[in-house]
Each structure stands twice: as structure tokens, then as C-alpha cells.
Amino acid sequence: MQVIIIGGGASGLTAAIKARENNNEVIVIERNNTCGKKLLLTGNGRCNFWNENQDITKYYSDNMPKLKNIWESKKDEVLNFFDSIGIVPKNIDGYYYPYSKTSHSVLDALINKATKLGVIFKLEEKVLKVSKETKFTVLTTKSEYHSDIVIVATGGASYPKTGSDGNGYEIATSFNHKLTPLLPALVPLKGNANYYSLWAGLRCEAIATLYENDIKIWEEKGEIQFTNYGLSGICIFNLSGMVARGLAKGKKEVISLNLVPWHKGSKADLKNWLDKREKLLNGSLKEILEGFLNYKLVNLLLKIAKIPKEESWHNSDKEKIIELLTNFKFEVTATQNIEEAQVTEGGVSLDEIDENTMESLKVKGLYFIGEILDATGLCGGYNLGLAWITGLKVGEHLHD
């Protein structure tokens, strides 16, 4: 069959390889001058392409049962696929990277494999319109193509400078496909307090717990990055999609930070520990806190608690300090915009996709894969995981 793949990112290249292995004529149309620009950015350029801890709770969609079926059908084939294109993985605490720890290795392996198989690449061509009569017609800025199959692998609306500016959604809606709300995910969060300039640039380990309308939703542990507008860092990114959904529905989103995640005891235990630290150091509350917190964060906590820097732990408002250490509340007012998000949450509804093939249930021969779908993962290789899984699924389906 004649197969056109719109988008040369992770999912598109995977589908191209598998479709060509099944003896199809495959053309990849990429609007950039090279494929995989967004792939090169993943994992800070190291390409965390998979995660050993595969669990469906790491993913989200409005149609979770269908996403689970898609995910389960191919998740055990991903590492074999990478072996087949020559990538030797390096497992670091469950996070899979190429052994070279550079994303270029993964991208080069994908392109080299596709090229050797005979996949044709059409670069620096933007798709303007896709239509169908007997066959599909794909009109680009340079040419017009005809095919039996069209696979839309354009990505979402995040990082538009890499080429994913949302034009795939226009293709989907032109064929009357329904889109779930498009929201930023894996993105920093904003608040409106007046003290963020005092903590901007700080980092610390913490437990971040999301409360939605005062109900606990999710918890993450990791490094928090404090910014002049709010919070960032991987664990904040992992909460951000849930926050975006809640804010879109008018819900109150609050993150509680436990700034002493290493202390496993109760608040009473923490109080006793601080009592002992005071006896040991014979110093001020500020000196005690600086033994385990950045001095700028200590100054901020004391300012919020309205406690003088020279105050002793013994004479201070102990309950207020312990509350700030274990339950520092950050009310989220917004996320950063979708252009600054790592991925787009929402997209082509899985309700209208055949879970066995990734084919449109509305238009025969039209397929959707990767980030354009209403399927999102947490940080840690999960979103690339969805790209590989959906690319494998459609590519393997297109056999003689």
C-alpha cells in the first residue's frame, strides 16, 4: 500500500519503519529541515526513552479503558524494537537511556533504519490539507501526494518551535474527529503570592501533594525548583496535568510541600527532634533550620511566620514552624502556557479510534498516533513510550 506519514517525530519514524518492513511504500512528510527536533530535547538531550516501571497509573486519557488496551498490547515489544534498530540501553534506576546518553543516538538509529529500508523523506514541506475520495490527497507547500493510507503523527501544540504547532488537530477536525480539551501538561505552575522573588532560583527535595477542592489527589517526591512565578521541577510537572484539568473546571488547586521529606516521623517527632537540635547547637532557630534548609528559604519561612531571625526555637511559635516545614501551602492560579509545556494533554478522542489498529472509526485508512491523541504520560519516558507503542501498533497492522 501507499502510506503517507505526516510528521517525522518519534511515533512517525517508528510507524514508518514497521510499515516499510511490511512492504508498503512509505513517505514521511516533515515540515522541518530534519526529523525528530522534539525528540532531541527529551531527557535534557539524553533521551529517556522508556521506563522499567510500566504501570497504567503513569498515563492519563478521558478513555482510560481504551488507552490501557492500546498500552498493554505493545508495551512488551518496545525494548525489542530498540534492539532491532541498534540501540543499546542504559538502565539508570529504571529509566532507560541510550548507552551513549545522547538523544542523537536514538534519532540517528531511527532515521538510518528507515532510510536503509527505503522510506522516502520529504523535508521542509508543511501539509496544508488532507482530503479523501477514493484515495487520500495530501496537499503540501511544495507538492501534492496520493495514498491509500494517511498516518497523522504531527505531535500536539507544545514546543511549537520544533514543528508541533497543532496543525494535526486541524486535519483531525476536517474529518469531523472530536478533540478533548487541549491543556498544557508537564509544565511549571504559577501562584500569586508576593514573596516568590525571595525564593527564585532555589532547589530542594520535597514531597509535593496535590489537593483539589481540599481532597488529596496525588503525591510526588523529588526536587522542587522555586521560581519568580511559582514552582517547577519534575514532581511539579507530574502534577501539572491534573492541575490544568482541575483549573479548567473551576476547581481549587493547592499543593502542599513537605520540606523535610527525609523525616519519617510525626509532627510531634519532628518537634522533639528540633528540641534536641536546640540543645545540641545552643543556637537560634535560624541556625537550627539552616542545618537542613537553604538560608534563603529559612529567611522566607521566618518572614511568613513573623518570627525574628534571632529568636530561639524554645521561644518561637513551634506549631507554626512545623506546619510550614511539613505543610507549606502553594495555591495554584495557573499553569504556564501550552507553548512552554513539554506535552499537550488532550487531543483526538480515543472514543473514535480503533484500539487494535489506531485507525479512525470515521474514515477508513486514516490513522492517528503519538501526542496528537488524547493520551498523556508522566515524566520519565512515558510519553515517548506512548509514541513507540502507537507507532508500532499501526506499522505492524499495515501488512499484506
Task: Tell whether the model's pLDDT for residue 400 goes beyond 70.
Answer: no
Q: What is the mean pLDDT of residues 344-358?
A: 97
- Give which of 12, 6, 5 is closest to 36, Cα–Cα: 12
CA distance linking residue 168 with residue 347, whole number of Å: 10
Task: Tell whether the model's pLDDT for residue 87 goes beyond 90.
Answer: yes
Q: What is the mean pLDDT of residues 169-177?
A: 98
Question: Number of C-alpha atoms within 13 angstroms, CB side, residue 353?
Answer: 33
Task: Tell whether the model's pLDDT for residue 14 goes beyond 90.
Answer: yes
- Please write the tens of the pLDDT for every residue from 249-306: 999 999 999 999 999 999 999 999 999 999 998 889 999 999 999 999 999 999 999 9
Rg (CA), the chain: 24
* Residue 304, Cβ density class (10 Å: 0-12 exposed, 13-18 middle, ≥19 buried): middle
- Please write the tens of the pLDDT for every residue from 51-77: 999 999 999 999 999 999 999 999 999
- Please write the tens of the pLDDT for every residue from 192-215: 999 999 999 999 999 999 999 999
Task: Tell whether the model's pLDDT for residue 225 goes beyond 90.
Answer: yes
pLDDT on residue 161 = 83
pLDDT on residue 282 = 87
pLDDT on residue 245 = 97
pLDDT on residue 128 = 97
pLDDT on residue 283 = 84
| Percentage with pLDDT > 90 across the chain | 94
pLDDT on residue 170 = 96
| Cα–Cα distances in angstroms (integers) from residue 7 to residues 2, 82, 250, 383, in the given order | 16, 20, 35, 16
| Average pLDDT of the chain, as a whole number | 96
Question: Number of C-alpha atoms within 13 angstroms, CB side, residue 263?
Answer: 18
CA distance linking residue 294 with residue 291, whole number of Å: 8
- Please write the tens of the pLDDT for every residue from 233-258: 999 999 999 999 999 999 999 999 99
* Residue 159, Cβ density class (10 Å: 0-12 exposed, 13-18 middle, ≥19 buried): buried
CA distance linking residue 391 with residue 382, whole number of Å: 14
Q: What is the mean pLDDT of residues 130-158?
A: 97
Task: Tell whether the model's pLDDT for residue 163 goes beyond 90.
Answer: no
The 3-state DSSP class for residue 326 equals helix
- Please write the tens of the pLDDT for every residue from 28-57: 999 999 999 999 998 889 999 999 999 999
Q: What is the mean pLDDT of residues 90-108?
A: 96
pLDDT on residue 57 = 95
DSSP state, 27? E
8, 124 contact by CB (below 8 A): no
